[in-house]
Structure 1
Amino acid sequence: MSVAAAKVPYRLKLAYGVGSIAYGIKDNGFAVFLLIFYNQVMGLPADLVGLAVMLALIIDAFVDPVIGHLSDRTNTRWGRRHPWLYASLLPVGLSWFMLWNPPDWGQTGMLVYLTCSAILVRTAIALNEVPSLAMLPEITQDYHERTDVIRYRFLFGWMGGLFLLWLAYAVFLAPTPEQPAGLLRRGGYQAYAWSGVILMVLAILTVALGTHRALAKPPAKLPPRLPLGEELRAMRRTLRNPAFLTLMGAGVFAYANQGLNFATSTYMQTYVWEFPGWALSLWPVTLLAGVVMAFVITPIASRRMGKKRAAAALALVAVVFGLLPYVLRLAGLFPANGDPLTIPLFLLLMTLAIGFSVCPMMLTGSMLADVVEDSEMKTGHREEGLFFAGNLFMQKCVTGIGTFAAGTLISAVGFPDNAVPGQVDPAVIERLMLFFTILTALFVACAVTVFLRFPLGEDDHAERVARLRQDTPPP
C-alpha cells in the first residue's frame, strides 16, 4: 500500500515534524529578540529596525515561489524535495550566525547589514522549509490524516523555537550582577546564535534522512518545462486558485497579528507586566503548553466542525483570552504588578490564548494540502511546492508588516530608549496597551471573516481524490 493511502507511520510523522525546528528557531529569533537586540543592544532606532526587517522579509519572500516552482520540477534519483534539503544545511548555519554577530559599522552600515543578513537567513531557511512542507500532500491524501500529520510539524517547530527561547531567558540572557538587564547582554546573543546553528543543522538532517526512504524517489509525473515567460504565466494561473487565495487572505490578517504580538511580547512582559527574571524564563513553558493543547484540540475540532469552521471559531476564542488581561488592566480590574496573582493569572490566560490561536494555523496547513488536488483537477498538474511557497511568501511579507507595525507602535506611543522596568511613564504604558488591543482585535476579526469563505470541504475532497486516482481528466 502506498504512503498516500496508508495510515502514516509515527516515525514518518516525527521525522516530518522535527524538520520544522529550524523554521521555529528562525521565527522566534526574528519575532522575539531581533527588535530588542538591534534596538536596545546595538542602538538602532526601533522604527528603523522594524523597517529593515519588513523590507528584508518582503524582498526575500519573492525567493519562495521560485524555490517551490523549481522543487516541483526537480527530477533526480532522490526525488523532487530531498536534494534541496541537503543543500540547505551550510547556508542555514552560516547565515544564522551572521545575523547575531553584526560588525560595528555605525548606524547606516548596521542597518544595511541587518537587511542583508535577514534576507540571507530567510532564503536559506526557505531552501529547507518549502520542499519540506511540500511533502505533506505526498505523505497522505486522507482529509483528516493531513491534519494529524501537519500538527507534528507545528508541535516540533514551536518546541524547537521555545527550547532555544527558554535557554536564552534562563541561561544566555539571564540577569547577572554585572548586567542586571540580561536581555541587553551582547555576549548572550552570541551563545544564542551558536546554539541555533547546531539545532537547525541537526533538525534539517533529521527530516532529510528520516523521510528519505519513503519519499526520496524519482517523481512519477512532473509539470511541463516551459519558456520563462510561459512559466511565469503558469505560476500566476496556479496561484489564482480561489481556494488558495481565500487561505492567503485569512493568513494576511492572522500572520500580521502574530508578527505584532511576538514582536511586542518582550516589551509587554518587561515593561507592562514587569516580569522578574524567573517569570520571563516561564514564558517559553507557557507557549509550549499552549502548543501541546493545540496539538490535542485541532484534530478533534476539525472532525466535529470541519476545517474552516474550526479555524474561525478557535481564532475567536483565542483573541478573547489573549486580550482579556489588557482589557481588564485598562479597566482597573486586573491585579496590580507585584500582586501574587498577577503572573499566574496572566500566564494561564496566555496559555489558553496561544493554544487556541495555534489551532487555526495547523488547520490552514491541512487546508492548503487540500488545495493541491483542487488545482490538479483544474490544471492537470500537481504543484505542491508552489502552493506552500506561496503560503510562506505571504507569511514573510505579512509577518514583516506585523514587525513593522510593532516597531511603529513602540515609537508612536513615545516609548523611551534604554527604558528601565517600573520607570516608564504610566501614560505611555496605557497607550501601548490600548493601541495593541485595538490592532489585535481588528486583525483577528478580519481573519475570521475570510476563513469562513474557504470553499473546500471533506466531501468534495474525497470526490476529487477518487477521480484523480482514476486518472479522470480535469473538467
Structure 2
Amino acid sequence: MSGTATPPVRRLSGWTTASYGFGSVAYGVKDAGFGTFLLIFYNQVIGLDASVVGLIIFLALVCDAFVDPLIGVLSDRTRGRWGRRHPWMYSAALPIAIGWLLLWNPPHLGGGAMLAWLFATAVVVRSAVSCYEVPSQALTPELTADYDERTRITSYRYLFGWAGGLAILLLAYGVFLTPSPAYPNGLLNRTGYSHLSIASAVIMAVAILASAWGTHHEIARLPKTALSGQTLGQAFRELWETVRNRGFVILMLAGVCAYTNQGISYALSNYTYNYIWEFQSWTLRLLPFALMAGAALAFVIAPAVGKRTSKPRAAMAFVLSAVVLHTLPYWLRFAGALPPPGSTALVMLLLPIFIVATALSVSSFILGASMMADVVEDSEARTGRRSEGVYFAGSFFVQKCTSGLGIMIVGQLLDLVAFPKGAKQGMVPVAVIDHLTMAYIAIYGTLAIIAALLFAKFPFGRQEHEARLARMTAAAEAEGAPHAP
C-alpha cells in the first residue's frame, strides 16, 4: 500500500462532530444490553447457570479475535466512490438490528440448544457491530491530525455512546422492566426484555444510518491510499509489522484491563443494585441520570486535562482515582459506615460517588482512544502505511472485552459464592454478599493498577506527535504526495 496522505490539522465543524459522535449511540445500546442485562436475562430469566452463560459469551469473544482484525484489514483495503469506511457503516445497520432481536427473543429450547442459540446470536451481533464500529472509529485519525482535536471528537463519541446506553437503562428500569403484580421484580419479566429489544434495535439502526449520512460529505477529504498487489503471505507480514507497534501493544494491554473492569461492573451492577444496596424502582429510574451526569463531566474534563498535560499521564491519574471511588462504597459497607440498604439516605450518599467515579473512568477511556489515533501516525512514520482499520479493530476488540471477559468473570464469581437463582431482595445470605464484594474489590483493584502502570509506559506524547507530523508533512510535500484539502 502506498501513496498515503497526511490528514489536515483542523477543527471539525459542529455538524460533522455531532454526526460522527452520534453513531456511538448504537455501541452504547449494545454495550448496555450485553454488559448490564444479558447475564441476568439468561441466568435468572431463562434459567441457565451463570458460569456457563459467562463462558459462552467469552467463547463468542474469541471469535472476535479473528473477525475484528479481518474487518480492519478489509476496511483499509476497500475502494470505491464512498471511500474506505462508509460502505461498511451503511451496510451494518440491518444485520445488527436482526441479530439483536434474535438474541433477546430465543425460542423455548432445551439447555444445550439454548446455549447454542446464545452463542450463535452473540457472534452475529458482535460481528455486525464490528462491521460498523471498526470503520467508524478508524475515521478519528483520518478526519484530523490535530493532537487535541482528536481528544475532543473522541469525547463526543463517548458522550453519545453513554447517552445511548443510559437511554436503554431508562427504558428498562422505567418502562419495560418495571415491577408488576405478575413480576414484583421487573428484571425477571421475559416479555419486557422482548419489548426492550425492539426499541433498542430501532435506536441502533437509526444511529448508524444517521452517522454515516451525516459524515458522508467528508469522504472526499479523507486521506487516499493506493493499493499494491500482494500475496497472502505479504499481507500477513504487513499486518504483523503493523501490530508490533509498541504504543499499540501498550494501549491494547491497558485497555484489556480497563475495559474488563468496566465489564465486571456492568455485569455485576444489577446484582449489586438489587441484592447489596436493595435499591427500589424509583432509584433504578434515577440511576441513568446520575451516570449520564458522570459521562457529561468526562466530556468536559478529559479534553481539558488532556490539553494541559500529556494524555498518558492524565489517563494513568484518572484510572487510579477511579478505582478508589468505585470500591469506596464497599469499604464503607464493611466498616458499617453506611445507612441501611434500600434507604433514601443510602441513595443520596451513593449517587454522588457513582457520578464522580463514572466521570473518572470515562475520562481515562476517552484519552486512551485518542492515544490510539496518535499511534496511526507513529506507525505510518515507521512502515509507510496508514492502517487505521487494523489499529481500531484492535481497539474495538479490547472494548468488547467489556461484555466478554467481564461477564465470564462475574458468572464464575456468582457460582463460586453460591449466589442463589431466582433470588429475592433482602434474602441473599450476608456471607454470600461479603464474599462477592471482596472478590470484586480484589479483581477490580488489581486490573486498575496494571492499567495505570501500562498507561505510564506509553512511548510518546504531544511533542513527539507534533514533531513526527511535521516531518511527515514535509516529506510528503517534497515527494509531491496527495494531500487532504
TM-score (norm 1): 0.97
Note the C-alpha offset of 1:217.
6.4
**CA RMSD for the aligned pairs?**
1.5
Secondary structure, in 3 states, of the residue corresponding to 1:341?
helix
Please identify, of 337-346 and 258-267, the stretch whose mean Cα deviation from structure 2 is larger: 337-346
Structure 1 match to 2:22: 18
- Retained in 1: the 8 A contact 2:7–2:222? no
Note the C-alpha offset of 1:3.
7.2
Cα distance in 2 for partners of 1:340, 1:393 equals 40
Structure 1 match to 2:135: 131
Q: Deviations over 1:102-157 (max 9, x none)?
A: 11111100001001100000000111101100001111100011000110000001
Note the C-alpha offset of 1:394.
2.6
Cα distance in 2 for partners of 1:338, 1:287 equals 19
Structure 1 match to 2:272: 268
Instruction: Describe how 1:70-469 pairs up with structure 2 within 5 A.
Output: 70-215=74-219, 220-397=224-401, 399-469=403-473
- Retained in 2: the 8 A contact 1:58–1:396? no
- Retained in 1: the 8 A contact 2:34–2:403? no
Note the C-alpha offset of 1:397.
4.2
Residue type at the aligned position of 1:404: M
Cα distance in 1 for partners of 2:427, 2:60 equals 34
Cα distance in 2 for partners of 1:309, 1:217 equals 33
Change (3 A) 1:218 1:12: closer
Residue type at the aligned position of 1:388: F
Q: Deviations over 1:275-324 (max 9, x none)?
A: 01111111211211110010010011112221000000011111111111
- Retained in 1: the 8 A contact 2:142–2:223? no
Note the C-alpha offset of 1:415.
0.5
Secondary structure, in 3 states, of the residue corresponding to 2:225?
coil
Residue type at the aligned position of 1:261: S
Residue type at the aligned position of 2:240: R
Secondary structure, in 3 states, of the residue corresponding to 2:215?
helix
Change (3 A) 1:158 1:333: same
- Retained in 2: the 8 A contact 1:80–1:216? no
Secondary structure, in 3 states, of the residue corresponding to 1:31?
helix
Structure 2 match to 1:471: 475
- Retained in 2: the 8 A contact 1:75–1:218? no
Please identify, of 396-405 and 198-207, the stretch whose mean Cα deviation from structure 2 is larger: 396-405
Structure 1 regions of 5+ residues with no counterpart?
none
How many residues are aligned here? 473
Note the C-alpha offset of 1:222.
3.2
Cα distance in 2 for partners of 1:17, 1:225 equals 35
Change (3 A) 1:33 1:225: farther
Note the C-alpha offset of 1:4.
2.6
Change (3 A) 1:404 1:216: farther
- Retained in 2: the 8 A contact 1:72–1:223? no
Cα distance in 2 for partners of 1:218, 1:362 equals 23
Structure 1 match to 2:71: 67
Structure 1 match to 2:483: none
Cα distance in 1 for partners of 2:93, 2:395 equals 22
Please identify, of 465-474 and 242-251, the stretch whose mean Cα deviation from structure 2 is larger: 465-474
Note the C-alpha offset of 1:162.
0.7
Cα distance in 1 for partners of 2:309, 2:221 equals 36
TM-score (norm 2): 0.95
Note the C-alpha offset of 1:249.
1.3
- Retained in 1: the 8 A contact 2:178–2:186? yes
Change (3 A) 1:60 1:348: same
Cα distance in 2 for partners of 1:69, 1:442 equals 34
Structure 2 regions of 5+ residues with no counterpart?
1-5, 480-485
- Retained in 1: the 8 A contact 2:73–2:389? yes
Q: Runs ≥4 in structure 1, deviation > 4 angstroms?
A: 216-219
- Retained in 2: the 8 A contact 1:311–1:360? yes
Identity %, equivalent residues: 47
